[in-house]
Structures are given as C-alpha cells and as structure tokens.
Amino acid sequence: MILHLLRTFHEEYGKAFELQIKYITKMARQKSPDYTLVTGRIGNKIYSALGKGWTGVRMENTTQAPLQEDQKKNASGFSELNRHVKFLNLALRESFPPDSKGVKWANRFTSVNKKNAEVITTTKIDPDTPVDPKKKSNEEFASQIDWSKVIMAQGPLWKPVVTVTATPVNAQQILEFKREQLTLKGASAKEIDAVKVDANATGYKLQFEQTPNAIEGAYAYNNDLVRAIIYNPENGFCLQKELRLRGEGGATSELIPAGDGIELADYQVYVYAKTANGKRTSNSVYLTVTIES
C-alpha cells in the first residue's frame, strides 16, 4: 500500500510549495519510510529541489505565445513537407541512416529540406491582411514544394550515374512483366500461373540504365548499392527499387500504375548510392523521366 502525504505551506511572500513524502510498505509486517526527492516535470507540474529535503512545485505554463508572421511562414512550410513523411517513411529509413548525433530518417529529411529555400516556397494567401494570432498558419499561408529540388538522401558518397525512360503498358504487358519477374525469382509454375491482372489495367514500365563506376575509391566502392525512390505526391504512392551495385552497368525495370487520373508527370524519381554496411549514402539525384513510345 502506497500512501501519499502532501504538505503545502506558504512563505512570507505568498509562494506556494508542495512537499510530497512517500511511505512504501514493502511487506505486510514491515514498514520502511522512503523519502523521494522529485525534480523535473510530472504531468502538468514542474518540481525543483529547494534544499534541506524540500521540493517546490509549480504549474506548467501552458499558454503558448501567438506566432509572428515569420514563424507562421516557417510552420506552414514545415507542415506541408511533413505531411509527406508518412508515405516516404520506409524509403527514408534507407536513404537517411542515423547521423553521428543519432538523428534519424524523418527528422533528417525534414531538417535538410526545410532549410533549403529552393525546396519550399511559402506565400501569404492575402498579402494585404495583417496576421491574425488566432488563425492557424495554413489558414494564412500556402506552401508549395518543388520536387525537383527535394533532397531524398544526403551523404559524402559519389552520386551514381543513372537515366530513366518510361513506356506505357497495357494489361497484357503488365501480366507478362509480372510473370517474367516471378520466373527470374525462381517461382513455381503454379505461382506464375496464379498471377492475374485486371483487363482494364494500365501503367508505365520504367527502365533504369546505370553506368558502371570507372574508378573505385573511398567514396565510390564498387559494392555500393544503387537505389531508386519513386514517389507520387498526389496519391502517396512510394516505391523503393534496388538497382545494381555501383560497379555494375545495365538496365533494371519496374512497373508503376497509371489510369484514374494518374499521369506520368505526377511521379518524382530519385536515385542514390549506399555503402554495403548501410551507414553512408550519396546525395540523391533527381531524374527527368523521358517517354518512349
């Protein structure tokens, strides 16, 4: 049984303090007093040591100061960028390994991009109206992301050399591609025959052409893995595709969906390199997709 004895007293200046002493019963027949000096935040109270075993407590100030115009502008940009993180998270875990301070994927991604003026453009919706402290930032500011400037990976490795083309495909071509991929993976005939595709399905076949590394060095090992990130900000579609080792050259293909208002221009494609142990990456490279008929 734990009993809490709370004592409140007032000093001559009227400041209120609370002393909390805990008595803990360790066994049914034995009582042992346990005096605990509490500091820090617990709930909405902040405790601090006053000396001689006394602990002072005050209520946390929960009133937030209204944001100024520059702060609201920054908040709008951060909010616009951050809403994409939930779709990109799996890819960012690979492209942004923890840095020397332990900062991980999502925080690294938002940090490097929100500081880049080329990535986010924020404008006041009504420039002639003063900022209203009662309104949220997205009610007064609008932010737009330039996806060709977004940093999807950041690190000291050399950037890989890759190009990408896209070819429209129909349902039959999609079916053939999927079955071909299963065959390469050693799937059984039963598994391959079980693959079905909607008769109205359409898509694009992306083909990545990778140039092999010419000179191996500390920031360009031939066993570095080259990866692609394919992202559609309009619907949250995100795919990370493993291409080839840096020292290899050749083509790698992948399918992405089309139809239902999805255009090829909606897709943003990036590539980057990563060491075999996964601890370092290159900066990402934004790829312009060209269409082949």
Handedness of CA 254, 154, 212, 286 (dihedral sign): positive
Average pLDDT, the chain: 81
Q: Model confidence over 132-154: pLDDT tens digits?
A: 677 777 777 788 899 999 999 99
29 and 135 in a common domain: no
Backbone angles phi, psi at 173, to 5 degrees: -70, -35
90 and 195 in a common domain: no
166 and 286 in a common domain: yes
Task: Note the pLDDT of residue 69.
Answer: 62
pLDDT band at residue 18 using 50, 70 and 90 as cut-offs: very low
Q: Model confidence over 234-256: pLDDT tens digits?
A: 999 999 999 999 999 999 999 99
| Phi-psi group of 192: left, alpha or beta (phi > 0 → left; psi -120 to 50 → alpha; rest → beta) | alpha
194 and 94 in a common domain: no
Task: Note the pLDDT of residue 42.
Answer: 76
239 and 137 in a common domain: no
pLDDT at 289 over 70: yes
Map residue 265 onto helix, strand or coil: helix
Q: How far is Cα 100 from Cα 268, in angstroms, rounded to an integer?
A: 29
205 and 241 in a common domain: yes
CATH number for the domain harbouring residue 167: 2.60.40
Domain count, the chain: 3
Task: Note the pLDDT of residue 64.
Answer: 58
84 and 49 in a common domain: no
pLDDT at 57 over 50: yes
Structural domain boundaries, residue 14: 2-59
Task: Note the pLDDT of residue 60.
Answer: 66
Q: How far is Cα 265 from Cα 259, in angstroms, rounded to an integer?
A: 13
* Residue at which a domain ends, from 30, 59, 88: 59
pLDDT band at residue 1 using 50, 70 and 90 as cut-offs: very low
Task: State the average pLDDT over residues 97-109.
Answer: 83
The distance of Cα 216 from the centroid of its chain, to the nearest Å, equals 31
Task: State the average pLDDT over residues 77-84.
Answer: 85
Nearest C-alpha neighbor of 155 from the set 20, 272, 15, 71: 272
Establish if 64 belongs to a structural domain: no
Q: Model confidence over 189-206: pLDDT tens digits?
A: 999 999 999 999 999 999
Task: Note the pLDDT of residue 19.
Answer: 38
Establish if 155 belongs to a structural domain: no
173 and 272 in a common domain: yes
